[in-house]
Amino acid sequence: MLNQEFLSALDGLEKSHDPDVLTIYSSDSMLTPSNSARLVLFPSNAADVLKILTACEKYGVSVVPSGGRTGLVGGATPLDGEVLLSLEKMNSIGEVNIDQKTVWVEAGATTRSVHEKCEKGGLYWPIDLASKGSSQVGGNIATNAGGIHVVRYGMLRNWIASIEVAFPNGDLIVFGSELVKDNTGLDLMQLFIGSEGVLGVITRAELFLTEMPRPLMTSIACFDHLETASELLSGSRKLPLALHTFEIMDQESVAIAGGSISSKWCALIEVEENPELNTLNLVAPLSEAAALKEFWLADSEEKRNRFWSWRESISESVKRVVATRGLIQKKMDVSLPYRSLVSFADRVNDEFKENVWIFGHFGDGNLHLNFGFSSVLLADQAEALVFCWIKELNGSISAEHGIGTLKRDEFLKWIDPNELRLMRQVKKVFDPSGILNPGKMI
C-alpha cells in the first residue's frame, strides 16, 4: 500500500487505481509484467510532473515514466509495483517557427501529430516509425528513436534543439538551444537522449525541422541472395537522388503481412524525385542488378501504400502468428557493420531455419530478428548464441529500441566496467535516491 501522506501530496492530480487501467499502462508491445504499477498518474503540465517527482523523492516511492507504450524491451514497465507517470495528457504542440525551423512540443504529443502540425507550415520532422500514431515524442527522445529514414536523416539526436527535464529535487531545467553553434560548456542535453527515463523526466522538447521532401519514388526489388541487397544499396547511394529508405524483408515476413513475393528476399527502396532530372531513367539501372528476380515501381499512391503495409505490418503479424502456433516470441533489434550484414543474416537463417522472420533497416545496418520457440529455455539459448555472434562482429545488441528490462542482463555483461561505473555515477548526480525507473539499463 502507498503511504497516505504520499497520496495526499498528490491531491488534485488525475490518477487511477483501477486494476484494468494499471494492467494496460504497465505493459508495452512486448512485455506485460507480473507486478503492475500500484498507481497511474496523469500530469497535465510540467508543474504536475515536478509535484509527482518531489513527492516520490520525499516518500521514497519509485516512479516509471511512460509514453505511448510502443517499446519492445520493457523500458517503461514497472518491475515491483512502482508508480507510473503517464505523459499522454501533455500533448500540446507550439507554433512552428518557420524561419528558425523549430517547434516546441510537449512529451506526450504523438509522432504523427507532430508531422501533421509541421507539414501545414511546409516543414518536416524526419523521425518516422511504424508506431508513429501512438509513439510519443518523449519516448522517442528517451530511446533515441531511429525509424525508416535514418539512411537519409540520421538518428533522432540530430533533430533535437532543446529539451526540458524535470528532476526529483524539484528542478526543471532546459538543456540545449536553437542555436546552430553554441560551445558554452558541456553538452548535457545529449545525456538525456537515449537515457530511457533513468536520469530525469522529459517534459517537452524543441525540435529541429527540415524542408518537406519532394515526392518519393518507391520500388520493391526481389532477389534470392542477400548480397544483391548490398549491390542495390551501393547503386542507390550513387544515384544523383537522395536515398530516403532502404528496408529489407524476407519472404516469410512479407507473406504473414499479407503480401507475396516469389524470391527469398525483397528490398523496399525510396529515392526523392527530382523534377530537373528524369528520375525514372535514373532508377532504371537498379532493376538491372545482378541476380535480381523482379523489380516493381509503385506507379500509384495505392501501390506505394500496399508496399508499406507489408513492411509496417510485420511486427504485429509475427506476434499473431507466434501466438497462433503456441510459440514463445523472441525479438532482437541488432546492428552490425555493413561488411557483416549479409553473412550474419545468412548465419541466422542457416541456424534457425523455421520460425524465423528477418526484416529491418538494411540501409543503416539495423536488422530486426523475430523468432518463435517452443520454450523459454530455447528462446534464451538462441538469444545468447546470436548475441555472441554480434559481439564477434563488433555489432550492437540494441540498434534503436534501447536496453530496458529485457536486455539489461546482457548489456551488463557486454559493457566495459569502467564505462558502466561512469554511467552509474552520472545517474547518482541526477537521481541520488535511485527512484527513477529502477532496474532499467544501468
Copy the grid coordinates of residue 142. Answer: 528517451
The pLDDT score that the predictor gives to residue 145 is 93
Q: Which residue in 411, 381, 412 sits closest to 397, CA to CA?
A: 411
**CATH topology for the 216-392 domain:** Alpha-Beta Plaits (3.30.70)
User: Are 96 and 117 contacting, i.e. CB atoms less than 8 angstroms apart?
Assistant: yes
Cα 281 to chain centroid, rounded: 35
Buried b (16+ CB within 10 A) or exposed e, 172-181: beebbeeeee
Please check whether the two domains, 102-211 and 216-392, share a CATH topology. no
Distance CA 146, CA 123 (A): 19
**What crossing angle do the helices spanning 227-238 and 338-352 adopt, rounded to 10°?**
150
This prediction has a pTM of 0.91
Task: Render each residue's pLDDT in the chain as its tens digit; 442 residues.
Answer: 788 999 999 999 999 999 999 999 998 887 777 678 999 999 999 999 999 999 999 999 999 999 989 888 888 999 988 999 999 999 999 999 999 999 999 999 999 999 999 999 899 999 998 888 889 999 999 999 998 999 999 999 999 999 999 999 999 999 999 888 888 899 999 999 999 999 999 999 999 999 999 999 999 999 999 999 999 999 899 888 899 999 999 999 999 999 999 999 999 999 998 887 777 777 777 777 667 888 999 989 999 999 999 999 999 999 999 999 999 999 999 999 999 999 999 999 999 987 899 999 999 999 999 999 999 999 999 999 999 999 999 999 999 989 999 899 999 998 999 999 999 999 999 999 999 999 999 8
The pLDDT score that the predictor gives to residue 34 is 66
Which residues are CB-contacts of 289 (< 8 A; sequence separation ≥ 6)? 221, 223, 228, 231, 232, 235
**CATH topology for the 4-86 domain:** 3.30.43
**CATH topology for the 102-211 domain:** 3.30.465
Distance CA 54, CA 168 (A): 5
Mark out the alpha helices in 130-200 (DSSP H runs). 137-142, 150-153, 189-192
Question: Which residues pair with residue 83 across a beta bridge?
Answer: 39, 63
Within 10 Å of residue 421's Cβ, how many Cβ atoms?
A: 12
Q: Any idea where the domains of the chain sit in the sequence?
A: 4-86, 102-211, 216-392
The pLDDT score that the predictor gives to residue 275 is 80
Tell me the CA distances in angstroms from 130 to 69, 108, 374, 419, one per residue in order.
13, 17, 28, 33
